[in-house]
Structure 1
Amino acid sequence: MFTNTQQFAHDETSRKLLVSEHLFTLGFKREQDVVNVDGEGLKYCWAGSLSCLKGLLVIRISISDWNFICLPDVYIEPLNATWLTSLFPLPHIHPCTISVHGVEHYSLCYSLADANELPRSNPQKIINWVLNQAASIINHLSTNEKFRQLELLREIEPIWDSFYCYQAMRALITGNTLIESLHLTVRIENVPDKFIDIAPCHWICHDAQSGQTKEVKTETILVRVHSKKIPSLTWLFKTIGESQAQPYNRPTFEQFLKWLREWDKAAHYSLFQYIQAHWDQIQLRTLIFVCLRVDQALLPAIFFLPSSTSDGTVKAAKKDKYNEITMLIGQSINLNPNFVYSRNLTNMNMNNLSGLHIAIVGCGAIGGYLAGNIARLGAGTGDGALWLIDPDILGSHNIGRHFLGKNYIQKYKSEALKIELEQQLVGLNITAITGSVFSTYFPRLQEKLPKFDLIIDASGKMELSEALTEQWHKWLDQRPTMLHVWIQGNGECVQGLLVKHDTGMACRSCIRRSGFYNSEATLSPLGSNHETKHAFLACHDFTPYIVSASTSAASLATDMVMDWINSTPSPHYRTRYVERWHGHRVESQDVPTSINCPYCQLHSRAN
């Protein structure tokens, strides 16, 4: 364990001096820079030993950023460390090597890039932390098989990607450039849960030699791997990640199948049976496109068939060709909705909005940003739906505080928002309604809306909110949850109100801005003397506020939606103020039904 000293540095020169002195006391020796003709490579590099549970490990520390915005690099020298290298490939250790004074070194990932705040004024403490982190990772990798397995499962996609990058570099170094110059990336939007499925997928092919890129849509064999215990990737590492001085040979389909059988027998059986059953057609192709899925990770591979096939029987041909079919690793772009819309909620024990039926009434300054927010949380995906309802057309006067831009001027806001979201995101089921929520031209609205899970009133117009409230009460026991969100004054605060059936909580009319003074006296967010400024344009007026008010209201509504779906809706009535407001305030709270609300009391008497 490396202990900390208390010498402070406040500029790059003093940081360099303190680091050099500190590393010297730790037994590290400064080495000459290892750079190429472009001046790239290892600068400010020190060599020394790292004490680990299994023995000493020779490492090199290289510092390229003396602001410590980027972490120092740590490289492992594999000589005399078979206790570690025999386990390769390993998570956190990149298979790409860098030559330092004629010896290949492996890069060690010892920390997440943004997981720690480094004390820049105490560089000795940073160096100690780096060394302790490196030793901890190496110790866990070399002694804890469970840790290796969990990290391998978590890191399998970046490990696969690292092989993808390295195979091209190895091929260029050894002169095998015809096929390896092809960089292939698959874009997958829907991954089935079946063991095996054949689906047309988009592959992006970049030819590094010609610089040309093209996209093709071709049948891809998608294989679901259920086992979480990934077997060793040594076969792939020895073929691709071996010393750069060795000849380069691509892995084979036989090796891939053997590895897959060890990993998941059901997945192997599904793929093997498909290849056997369709060999007559497959052997006429040049390429076989395969993609494994384990959890959310995608592992694509392209298999190259030899130019000529055996003259023997089909069975013999199948057997003979597996070792002749060679493999190239691909990269993936994972646009599977379950991955896209759940990633940001990982480890937060929160549900997303997939599978729900949600309607937004009002696609203006609030509704536009809000639609973008909840769509990114899964609204309108799976078996769910997202309805956007607004009769207005986007004008040039709107775009200063709207989610949509100039390309959508003179288009219906709801339709334009649908187009924009579908261009940005994947797997959305969006319906745009270009009329009022009460329009007789859309009779299915009054038929279907009561069956929705959530209706969001983002109109910001009290009269429409009350009309929605009146309609909501008429739906009786079918009533969905209703969320109202609006901007108060000139953006001094934003508010939201969540209304659920049979909770005894206030509806929008219970907390209206005028008409029911009992509520107004206690719940007015800006006080009764506050005067909202208005502006005028042509034949109508509008309330000026900056775009941050729109985004703040959308953020508040997003938080309330997520709290609702995760069963923590309280407080139902919420207010957020800007920092510059120092006047009257109300706290976020649960407000009971008002005795003065005509809609709640009428419904109460009807029951």
Structure 2
Amino acid sequence: MDAMPEVLRHMTGWGFTKVDPQLNAGWLVMTGELSTATQGVVQCEVWIDRLFERPLKLWLTGVPKALPRLVPHLSPDGYLCYAAPGTEVIDIFDPVGQTRTSLLQAAEVLELVLAGKMKEDLQEEFFVYWDGIYCFHDIERRTSGLVEMLQLSDTKMYVLTDDVARSRLKFARAGRTIKKFPANIAMITSSAAPRPLQENWPPKTVGQILDWQHEMDDACKRKIRDKIIAAYREEVGGILIVIESEKTGYSYGFIVHDLQRNRPDDQRSTDQRLPIFDCPVQPLQMLRLDDKYLSERNIPGQATFSGRRIGLIGCGTIGSFLAEMLVKAGAGAGGGEFLLIDNDILMPQNLGRHRLGFNNLFREKAVALADELKASMPTAKVCAFASDAKDVCLGGLDLIIDATGEESFGHWLVKAASCPTLHVWIEGAGVAVRSLIKQRAEQGCYRCLTDANSQGSLLSVVGGVQPIFSGQGCEGLYVPFPASVSIQAAALALDTALAWVGDKPWPSLSTRLTDHSYEPATPDCSPLPHLECPACRS
């Protein structure tokens, strides 16, 4: 049933008039007044999605003249942002109620805007209106130092970097050339959060940039002006200005092009007569792509694996997914090193639940996985060892992760390792996933746990599990379970490792049930060593 006639009837009853002719086939456009409790009424234009799948859109057509130049939630063209993207739930079964709710929310936001409130919200919406070409911010050192600018031939995007070789490695693509971009670079800090103006937006000239900055932070305006004047006097063609807001930590920038375009023949001009204010500017959207940011963004305030030496033994179904998670959390970054150890090759029967695919068939798993990780995180130091782990030097590591799922190897590693050791495995045919970390003498080891299991204690599920093997001819036996179980095991290992690197409380033995037809037997805990354990008591 078409609900639009009913919505139109209610909108008319609320004082709105249908625009004739309609401006867009997908939207019902109406004009009317938005009433506020204390600030009067404002003329507006309302757009209602004819399928009722998108939020109502609203523009002010009668913006009060006394409105300040810097206003939250109101774009330069009068668009009123009354709800953050993704926060408004569209009720497709109640279009009339949904429309009414949106109008009331818009009126409430407008009330606060006109009353001069919500100024802090400006900083969050600034980047919606600062629409420019991307400039990737690949700077590891946050202190001042030499930085250079590159440009990518295929997209014309820029890269700001403190290490040209590292950035070239990150952005290398077939058919792409990466050239140095000739321009002065100035890094400037501002005490103010950036906000859009209600006029002359976006700024198109140096003069409009300076006028805008004057409204927010006059000290920053003077620094920008001085840097541009200095570049003009040096007779350079352009200058990149990057402004970092100390209040928000965000950066934004712009390029002044053709800085010498109006240089007079008379070189004795004074500062007041410098012909720089009409020079065009190009806004830049600064996107951080430094390794520190990439590894910390999803876990703010937490320690990452950056700078640590980590060895992952076993690049099978668990290890392959875990390796990717570890790299994206900083393994191999910041001067650290990430070792992948596995002497097996990728076979066709592995493809159903392995991180690697057909393009790596019959390759050594460790080598192929290292190549994949370096393709996705080019600056990570990932070293592959296609050898038996017993033949690899494991000294000097900060953490060893055993993802082999082999009990006998786990027992050997307990004796061989001289650093914290994390074991992760799958119980039975995907019944549960478990992890065990030993980092202190008072914690039980992997051999302690297997001894306890053999005596019927510390089991994952009530009654224990029996492995179910499958196989075809000479293929060999394997335990069937879906890839989702491997990913859950990898996720549990990552959480355990993050707790270790962050020195946070975490039970040494953790269990996650993946087959809920079973009943869990042992809550997460930290078992003590067995008195007669031949591994950790010797």
Question: Which of the five TM-score ranges fits, normalised by the shorter chain?
Answer: 0.7 to 0.9
Give the aligned partner of residue 108 of structure 1: 80
Residue pairs, 1:319-358, within 5 angstroms: 320-345=274-299, 350-358=302-310
Report if the CA contact (8 A) 2:262-2:275 is conserved: no
- Asked whether 1:434 is paired with 2:386, we answer yes
- Asked whether 1:403 is paired with 2:388, we answer no
Give the aligned partner of residue 47 of structure 1: 32
Report if the CA contact (8 A) 1:83-1:142 is conserved: no
Letter of the aligned partner of 2:19 in structure 1? Answer: E
CA distance in 2, matches of 1:599, 1:399: 36
Q: Residue by residue, what CA displacement relative to the aligned partner does 1:51-108 show, whole Å, maximum 9, x if unpaired?
A: 154332223332225343x32222222x252244x334x443333x4xxxxxxxx222
| CA separation of 1:584 and 1:322: change in aligned 2, threshold 3 A | closer
Q: Which stretch of the first structure deviates more once superposed, 401-410 or 17-26? A: 17-26
CA distance in 2, matches of 1:314, 1:520: 93
CA distance in 1, matches of 2:215, 2:65: 24
Q: Specify the SS of the correspondent of 2:200.
A: helix
Q: Which stretch of the first structure deviates more once superposed, 556-565 or 315-324? A: 315-324
Give the aligned partner of residue 445 of structure 2: 507
Report if the CA contact (8 A) 1:571-1:590 is conserved: yes
Give the aligned partner of residue 139 of structure 1: 111
CA distance in 1, matches of 2:345, 2:298: 33
Residue pairs, 1:365-376, within 5 angstroms: 365-376=317-328
- Asked whether 1:494 is paired with 2:494, we answer no
Give the aligned partner of residue 28 of structure 1: 16
Q: State the shift of 1:132 in Å.
A: 3.3
Q: Which of residues 97, 109, 121 is equivalent to 1:151?
A: 121
Q: Residue by residue, what CA displacement relative to the aligned partner does 1:99-141 show, whole Å, maximum 9, x if unpaired?
A: xxxxxxx222222332344444333442343223323333333
Q: State the shift of 1:366 in Å.
A: 0.8
Q: State the shift of 1:328 in Å.
A: 1.8
Letter of the aligned partner of 1:327 in structure 2? Answer: V
Report if the CA contact (8 A) 1:197-1:221 is conserved: no
TM-score by length of 1: 0.74
Report if the CA contact (8 A) 2:414-2:536 is conserved: no
| CA separation of 1:522 and 1:196: change in aligned 2, threshold 3 A | closer
Give the aligned partner of residue 199 of structure 1: 148
CA distance in 2, matches of 1:388, 1:232: 47
Report if the CA contact (8 A) 2:317-2:486 is conserved: yes
CA distance in 2, matches of 1:510, 1:48: 74
Q: State the shift of 1:552 in Å.
A: 1.4
Q: Residue by residue, what CA displacement relative to the aligned partner does 1:174-195 show, whole Å, maximum 9, x if unpaired?
A: xxxxxxxxxx432332264235
Letter of the aligned partner of 1:66 in structure 2? Answer: L
Letter of the aligned partner of 2:276 in structure 1? Answer: Y
Letter of the aligned partner of 1:43 in structure 2? Answer: L
Give the aligned partner of residue 459 of structure 1: 404
RMSD, aligned α-carbons = 3.5
Report if the CA contact (8 A) 2:311-2:341 is conserved: yes
Report if the CA contact (8 A) 1:196-1:270 is conserved: no
Residue pairs, 1:278-289, within 5 angstroms: 279=232, 282-283=235-236, 285=237, 287-289=238-240
Report if the CA contact (8 A) 1:465-1:508 is conserved: yes
CA distance in 2, matches of 1:130, 1:527: 56
Q: Which of residues 404, 408, 415 is equivalent to 1:470?
A: 415
Q: Residue by residue, what CA displacement relative to the aligned partner does 1:302-361 show, whole Å, maximum 9, x if unpaired?
A: 222144643344875996232242212233443233433333335xx5444444443322
Q: Specify the SS of the correspondent of 1:574.
A: strand
Residue pairs, 1:519-558, within 5 angstroms: 519-525=455-461, 527-528=463-464, 530-536=466-472, 538=474, 540-558=476-494
Letter of the aligned partner of 1:121 in structure 2? Answer: F
Report if the CA contact (8 A) 2:205-2:279 is conserved: yes
Give the aligned partner of residue 59 of structure 2: 75
Letter of the aligned partner of 1:229 in structure 2? Answer: A
Q: Residue by residue, what CA displacement relative to the aligned partner does 1:192-219 show, whole Å, maximum 9, x if unpaired?
A: 4235743133356769xxxxx9865425
Q: Aligned pairs, how many?
A: 516
Q: Which stretch of the first structure deviates more once superposed, 325-334 or 548-557? A: 325-334
Report if the CA contact (8 A) 1:195-1:266 is conserved: no
Query: Is there any run of 5+ residues in structure 1 with no aligned partner, and where?
Result: 1-11, 98-105, 165-183, 208-212, 242-249, 603-607
- Asked whether 1:291 is paired with 2:261, we answer no
Q: State the shift of 1:486 in Å.
A: 0.8
Q: State the shift of 1:401 in Å.
A: 0.9
CA distance in 1, matches of 2:93, 2:473: 55
CA distance in 1, matches of 2:286, 2:153: 10
CA distance in 1, matches of 2:377, 2:249: 17
CA distance in 2, matches of 1:135, 1:378: 46
Letter of the aligned partner of 1:73 in structure 2? Answer: K
CA distance in 1, matches of 2:288, 2:75: 22
Report if the CA contact (8 A) 1:156-1:297 is conserved: no
Report if the CA contact (8 A) 2:367-2:385 is conserved: yes
Report if the CA contact (8 A) 1:489-1:533 is conserved: no
Give the aligned partner of residue 238 of structure 1: 199
Give the aligned partner of residue 6 of structure 1: none
Q: Which of residues 265, 281, 284 is equivalent to 1:311?
A: 265
- Asked whether 1:359 is paired with 2:311, we answer yes
CA distance in 2, matches of 1:542, 1:368: 17
CA distance in 2, matches of 1:326, 1:308: 11
Report if the CA contact (8 A) 1:157-1:298 is conserved: no
Q: Identical aligned pairs, as a percentage?
A: 22
Report if the CA contact (8 A) 1:188-1:335 is conserved: yes
Residue pairs, 1:148-227, within 5 angstroms: 148=119, 150-161=120-131, 164=132, 184-190=133-139, 192-195=141-144, 197-203=146-152, 216-219=179-182, 223-227=186-190
Report if the CA contact (8 A) 2:36-2:110 is conserved: no
CA distance in 2, matches of 1:527, 1:314: 93
Query: Is there any run of 5+ residues in structure 2 with no aligned partner, and where?
Result: 157-175
CA distance in 2, matches of 1:47, 1:426: 55
Letter of the aligned partner of 1:341 in structure 2? Answer: S
Q: State the shift of 1:600 in Å.
A: 2.3
TM-score by length of 2: 0.82
Q: Specify the SS of the correspondent of 1:545.
A: coil
Report if the CA contact (8 A) 1:253-1:323 is conserved: yes
CA distance in 2, matches of 1:539, 1:409: 16
Report if the CA contact (8 A) 1:253-1:326 is conserved: yes
Report if the CA contact (8 A) 2:186-2:240 is conserved: no
